[in-house]
Amino acid sequence: MSDTYFTPELLQFLKQLRRHNNRKWFQANKARYEEVVRNPCLRFIADLAEPLHGISPWLVADPHPTRGSMFRIYRDTRFSADKRPYKLHVGMSFPHRGTKQKVHLPGFYLHLEPEGCFAAAGCWHPDNPTLIRIRSAIVAQPEAWKKAVRGLELEGDALSRPPRGYPPDHPLIEDLKRKDFMASIGFTDKQVCGPRMMPEFIAACQKHGKWPGMGGVYSEPLLAKYSALGMRMLLAGNDLSFLMGAASARTRFLREMRF
C-alpha cells in the first residue's frame, strides 16, 4: 500500500496560515484549503478504514467532512483569551466506536503540522468513571498492563501524589498516578509527504495499539464475544461483583438441596 496523500503544499498552507490567521485571508484561500488540506485528509481517512479494522474492529475511520475523523480547522474561541480563529495544525482521530465524544476515547490520532507531525495512541483526558476503570484494570491485571505498555514511553499529565485509595508503595503507582495514557511517535515532513505515509502510520498504530481492552464487562457471553474480537485486557468485575456472584451461586446451591 504505497500512495502519496499529503504534499508539501499542505504544510505550506499551514505555514502561511500562521502568518495570516484571520477570516479575510482564509476565505480568500478556502478553495486552496479544501484542495490541498481537507480533501487529501479525507481520502487518507477513507483508505485507512480497512487496515484499521484489521488492527481492531472497534476503531473508526470516518471520512465524513463534518463530525467525522477530521477535526475542524476552526478554533473555539468563546472562553479563550486567544481569539485567533483557526488552528495551525490538522488533526485526525480514530477512536473506539460507541459514542459521539471522540476526543477523550481510546484510539489513534494523527497530527499534521510543519516540523511537528506525529501519531499518538491511547486515551487523552478520560472522564473520571473511565479513569477509575483504567486504574482498576491496571491493579486487577498488572501483568497484562505491563505487556500492553512494554517498549512504550507513556506521555501526558499525571498527579503529583497517589490517587485516593491506592497505596504509595504500589509497584505500578507511577502508572496509577497518570491522568493520560498516551504514547506517540514523530514523523518528519518528508515522511508525511512521501508515498509510504499510510503503511508507516499503520505500523505505528500496530506498535502502539497491540491489545485493545475493555473494563466493566460482567456478562459471560459478552466476555466471550469481546475476546473473539481481539480484546486481551478484560476487566470482568470488581471485588463487590465477585462477592455477589459467589453469594448468588451459593444461594442457588442451597435452594436446590433437599433436606
In-domain check, residue 230:
yes
51: its cell numbers: 487496515
Q: What is the pLDDT of residue 208?
A: 66
Question: Residue 218: how many CB atoms within 10 A of its CB?
Answer: 14
At residue 22, the 3 state secondary structure works out as coil
Q: For the chain of 259 residues, list the mean pLDDT of each consecutive stretch of 10.
A: 88 98 98 98 97 91 94 94 96 82 79 96 88 93 92 92 95 96 94 96 79 51 51 49 59 63
Asked whether residue 94 is assigned to any structural domain, the reply reads: no
Domain for residue 125, yes or no? no
∠ CA 233-242-125, nearest 5°, is 45
Q: Are residues 198 and 249 in the same domain?
A: no
Q: Is residue 259 part of a domain?
A: yes
Give me the pLDDT at residue 212, please: 44
Q: Distance between CA atoms of 77 and 83, rounded to whole angstroms? A: 5
Please compute, for residue 248, the number of CA atoms within 13 A of its CA located in the half-sphere on the CB side. Answer: 6
Which pLDDT score, from 0 to 100, does residue 232 have? Answer: 46
Query: How many separate domains does the chain show?
Result: 2
Residue 251 lies in a domain: yes
Q: Does 139 fall in a domain?
A: no
Measure the CA–CA gap between 171 and 119, rounded to whole angstroms: 29
Euclidean distance between CA atoms 108 and 118, whole angstroms? 11
Q: Is residue 254 part of a domain?
A: yes
Range of the domain at 195: 1-88+189-211
- Residue 148, pLDDT score: 87
Do 203 and 236 belong together in one domain? no
- Three cell numbers written together for 67: 463530525
State residue 3's pLDDT score: 86
Same domain? 195 vs 259: no
Category of 152 on φ-ψ map: left (φ > 0), alpha (ψ -120 to 50) or beta: beta
Q: What is the pLDDT of residue 105?
A: 77
